[in-house]
Amino acid sequence: MRRNTIFSFCLALCAMALVNLSPGSAAAQPVIRIKLASMVPAGSTWHELLKQMGEEWKQASGGKVRLVIFPGGQAGNEGDVVRQLRIGKLQAAALTVIGIHDIETSPQAIATPGLIIDADEWDYVFERMIPKWDKLLEAKGFIPLMWGDTGWVFLFSKKPIAKPEDVKGLKVFAYDGDPASLEGWKAAGFTPVVLSSTDILPSLKTGMIDGVTNSPVMTYMARWNETANYMVNVPWGHLPGATIIKKETWEKIPADIRPKLMEIARKYGRKVNDEAMRMQNDALAQMKKAGLNVVDFDAAGRKLITDYAEKTWPVVRGGVCTVEAFDEVKALRDEFRARKAAGTLNDAPAAPSPTATPTATETGAAPVPAKADATAK
């Protein structure tokens, strides 16, 4: 009897071991928790879309992949987020190219003030640069899940602006951790003040800074417009970004699941971009109702603002980003302008975008140069 009991106990242990070693067991395939940080405000449309993406990831992976989102700067500013990615406290992040600059500087070339001010040339350059940026980031240990754009960037000021010369000398927010950008601001005639992005609002209120350049969506969400209630209606540039994940984390996900998750991420990238354009128009409308003064200039005044922006170029080129990165973006912009002038934009199909990023659309925020025919892309 004792021998039978021992034998049965041994059989039970063997059975348990087989269960634990089986491919479908929890022990063999532990849940992969991915902590993702973002500056998008909690409860915003962007935040809700990230949450929805996380739910679809969970379903597509059979519960093996769980996305935990920290919105609204809970993990600190973008520099803090990158540091936490490096030490493994975070595994993913949604960053602007300014945050990505701490990993790879090349993408920031496309955000150079005044370099691209037409929606169609933005589409042309952006989609052609993405494949190269993907490779550069992967070489640094990160996989881009999707690229996107926050829309046109404008200058918001708490000081009244009546003419282009009024922007000269304004104390403007400058990102910490990017010394070269300080020289760019100075070259354009501004007085940069280095701050954490989480300190912009109190600094506007106390007068530490006079203004900030950002998209209308972020300005409205962060309530900066309540103090900086003058907006220069000349595009300063674009501020794109990407949602990235550490390569080592990505490769822990079973290979057969990764394509499904990437497809879902790109789908939500399109949704995020679509919402960004709608939200930009909504943000402008709401800020105008709240007293935002939209400052328009004539053609000469607009050119003067653009000239101020272009004074940053020698600093950006080789300082903020590499000479090669700046020259490549500018060359693509010039290529687009030459083809548009020659009427040859239809001669070849547009370069495929690996992240299926939608093309930018006119936001109505400023009278940017006329778009080319929609078929000429």
At 314-340, the pLDDT tens digits run: 999 999 999 999 999 999 999 999 999
Specify the CATH number of the domain 31-342: 3.40.190.170
Q: What percent of the chain has pLDDT over 70?
A: 84
Is pLDDT of 371 > 80?
A: no
Q: Which distant-in-sequence residues (6+ apart) come within 8 Å of 332 by Cβ?
A: 124, 125, 128, 129
Q: What is the pLDDT of residue 146?
A: 94
Is pLDDT of 2 > 50?
A: no
3-state helix, strand, coil in the chain (%, to 5): 50, 20, 35
Q: What is the pLDDT of residue 348?
A: 59
Q: What is the pLDDT of residue 16?
A: 36
Q: What is the pLDDT of residue 359?
A: 33
Contact between 56 and 67 under an 8 Å Cβ cutoff? The reply is: no
Average pLDDT value for the chain: 85
Q: What is the pLDDT of residue 356?
A: 38
Confidence of residue 349 (pLDDT cuts 50, 70, 90): low
Q: What is the pLDDT of residue 280?
A: 87
Of 99, 61, 107, 86, whose CA–CA distance to 262 is shortest?
Answer: 61
Q: What is the pLDDT of residue 28?
A: 55
Q: What is the pLDDT of residue 361?
A: 30
Q: Which residues partner with 68 through β-bridges? A: 35
Contact between 66 and 31 under an 8 Å Cβ cutoff? The reply is: yes
Is pLDDT of 13 > 90?
A: no
Q: What is the pLDDT of residue 279?
A: 85
Nearest 5°: CA angle at 266, between 86 and 328?
70
Of 316, 296, 292, whose CA–CA distance to 368 is shortest?
Answer: 296
Q: What is the pLDDT of residue 29?
A: 67
Tokens of 334: 């010039």
- Mean pLDDT for the stretch of residues 256-260: 97
> Higher model confidence: residue 86 or residue 176?
86
Is pLDDT of 177 > 80?
A: no
β-pairing, 191-195 with 32-38?
unpaired
Cβ burial, residue 15 (10 Å; 0-12/13-18/19+): exposed
Q: What is the pLDDT of residue 151?
A: 83
Is pLDDT of 208 > 60?
A: yes
Q: What is the pLDDT of residue 15?
A: 38
Q: What is the pLDDT of residue 307?
A: 94
At 210-224, the pLDDT tens digits run: 999 999 988 998 899
Is pLDDT of 60 > 90?
A: yes
Confidence of residue 40 (pLDDT cuts 50, 70, 90): confident
Confidence of residue 1 (pLDDT cuts 50, 70, 90): very low
Q: What percent of the chain has pLDDT over 90?
A: 68
Q: What is the pLDDT of residue 30?
A: 87
- Helices (H), ranges, the chain: 2-21, 45-60, 78-87, 97-100, 119-139, 179-187, 200-206, 216-221, 247-250, 258-289, 299-310, 313-316, 323-342
Is pLDDT of 355 > 70?
A: no
Distance between CA atoms of 76 and 74, rounded to whole angstroms? 6
Q: What is the pLDDT of residue 97?
A: 93
Distance between CA atoms of 249 and 262, rounded to whole angstroms? 14
